[in-house]
Amino acid sequence: MKPCRISFCGAGKWVRAFHIPMLEQRADRFAIRGFYDVFQENAVASAAGKYHVFSSMEELLQDDETDVVLVATKPVDTHYEATMRLLEAGRNVILEKPMTYSSEQCDALIAKAKEKGVLFTVNHNLRCSVCLKATKEVIRQGHVGEAVNVEITSPRSWYDQIDFSNYAVHMIDQALAINRSPLKEVMACTAHRNDPMSSCGYGAALLVFEKLPSITVSLLPLPMKQAIADEHPYRGYFRFRVTGTKDSFAIADLSHIPAAEQLLCRSSYYFDNAEPDFTRPEFVQSLDKAWYDFFYESWAGGAPLLVSPEEARNNIRCAELITESSRLNRAVDATNMLPIRKECLI
C-alpha cells in the first residue's frame, strides 16, 4: 500500500496520546513525516528522535515529503489561521475538532479547500464510537419500536474546565450522525447563558429534526475528585438511551476506543435490555475501524470522507444555535444548516 505521509501543525498532548500511537499502529498505510509547533520543544518531544522537526511554518508549508497536514493547535482560536494558511498553500488538511468557534470561519475554510481542490476533513474520532454504532443498530433493528428520542449524556464537562463547544461538539456530531433528516429547532439551557462558546459550560439541548427521533444532548457536572478516582478513565464518555414506542434501551460507553471484542465484554459496555443482534455483519465489520482507517480509504482510494467538512461545520452551527437558544431562553429555528448526504458511513 502507498503510505500517506502525515505532518503535524501543533504537537501537544493529544498528538502524543492519540495520533502518534494510532498512526504507528498503521505503519503499512501511514508514515509520520514531522512536527511543527510554535514552541519547538513540543515538536521535538513529539518527534522523539524518530521524525523530522520543522523549524518554521514556512518549512512545513513547502515540504514535499508531506501528503497531509494535521492541525492540532490549541487554543481553538488558532485553528482558523493555521488551517487557512495550509489550504492556501494547496495542502490536504485534517483539522482537530472543534473545527473553529464560528460557522462563518468554517464556511471560509470549506470554500478555500474547494477552490484549491484539496482534501479537508475534521477529526471527529468519536464518530467511530462503538456505542454510537450500537445506538444506530438498535434503532435500525426496531428494538424499541419507533425511536422517538435519543439521549446522549456525558458526565464530564466540569472537572477539566472543558468548554462547551469543545466537548459537546462530540455529542452534537453523534446526534447529527444518528438523525440525518434536517435539523428544525433547538431548545437549550446552558449554565452560563451569556458566555461565548469558548467558555466552560454545562447544560442540555433538545434537537428537533424533520423526522423522529429528537435528540437530547447533555453535559452534566461531575466533581473533579470523583472523576480522578474513577477506575475507568473513560467512563465519562457518553451514555446513550434510545426511547421508543415499545421499549427503551441504554448503552454506556466505558471506553470509546473501538475494538470488536469490547462490545461483547460486559465490563466495558452494558446494555440494560434484551440485546439486539450485534453479530450482524454490517455492524461487526465496522467495529474495529477507527477514524484513520476511513481516512486512508478516502486519501488513497477516493472513498467518501467519514466526516465531510460540511458535517463538521454543521456541528459548529448547531453549537451556535444552542448558545443562542440558551441566551434567549427560548427555542430557536435551526437556520443556516448546510444540506448533508443522507447516509452516514458508519
Q: Which is nearer to ligand NAD, 208 or 346 (CB)?
A: 346
Residue 324 CB, nearest approach to ligand NAD (Å):
22
Member of 96, 107, 163, 311 binding ligand NAD (CB under 6 A): 96
Member of 40, 78, 198, 286 binding ligand NAD (CB under 6 A): 78
Task: Give dist(CA 65, CA 82) in Å, integer.
Answer: 19
The residue number with the shortest CB distance to ligand NAD is 12
Q: Which of 276, 229, 233, 228 is nearest to 251 (CA)?
A: 276
Count interface residues toward ligand NAD (CB under 6 A): 23
Task: Give dist(CA 47, CA 20) in Å, integer.
Answer: 9
Interaction between residue 40 and ligand NAD (CB under 6 A)? no
CA angle 32, 296, 17 (to 5 degrees): 45
- Considering only the stretches 30-38, 137-145, 154-162, 337-345, report the one whose residues sit in contact with ligand NAD under the rule CB under 6 A: 30-38
Reported as type and span, the H/E element at residue 30 is: strand 30-36
Member of 4, 6, 7, 11 binding ligand NAD (CB under 6 A): 11
- Considering only the stretches 23-31, 37-45, 47-55, 247-255, report the one whose residues sit in contact with ligand NAD under the rule CB under 6 A: 37-45
Write down how long the chain is: 346
Member of 38, 118, 162, 346 binding ligand NAD (CB under 6 A): 38
Member of 123, 129, 179, 190 binding ligand NAD (CB under 6 A): 123
The order of strands in the sheet holding 147-154 is 269-271, 248-253, 239-244, 147-154, 214-219, 203-209, 183-190, 332-333
CB 41 within 8 A of CB 12: no
Task: Give dist(CA 308, CA 236) in Å, integer.
Answer: 27
Site string for ligand NAD, 143-182 (x = CB under 6 A): -----------------------x----------------
Residue 37 CB, nearest approach to ligand NAD (Å):
4
Residue 215 CB, nearest approach to ligand NAD (Å):
20
Tell me how far apart the terminal alpha carbons of the chain are, to the nearest angstrom. Answer: 24
CB-based contacts of 147, cutoff 8 Å, min separation 6: 138, 139, 212, 213, 242, 243, 244
Q: Which of 32, 87, 30 is nearest to 61 (CA)?
A: 87
Member of 4, 10, 218, 269 binding ligand NAD (CB under 6 A): 10
Member of 7, 83, 103, 125 binding ligand NAD (CB under 6 A): 125
Residues 291-330 that bind ligand NAD (CB under 6 A): none
CB 319 within 8 A of CB 172: yes
Look-up: residue for cell 511543527? Answer: 36
Q: Which is nearer to ligand NAD, 16 or 116 (CB)?
A: 16
Interface residue list for ligand NAD (CB under 6 A) = 9-15, 36-39, 42, 72-74, 76, 78, 82, 96-97, 123, 125, 166
